Amino acid sequence: MSPSDDLTGDAAALPRIRTATTDDAAAIAAIWNPIIRDTAITFWPAERPAAEIAAMIAARQRDGHAFLVAEADWRLLAFGTYAQFRSGAGYARSLEHSIHAAPGARGRGVGRALLTALEQHARDAGGRIMIGAITASNAGSIAFHDRMGYGVWGRIPRAGWKFGQFHDLVLMGKDLG
Distance of alpha carbon 141 from the chain centroid: 11
pLDDT, one tens digit per residue, over 7-46 is 333 334 468 999 999 999 999 999 999 999 999 999 999 9
Alpha helices (H) along 11-109: 25-38, 50-62
Supply the pTM of this predicted model. Answer: 0.90
What pLDDT digit, counting tens, does each position of 74-105 carry? 899 999 999 999 999 999 999 999 999 999 99
CA distance 143 to 150: 9
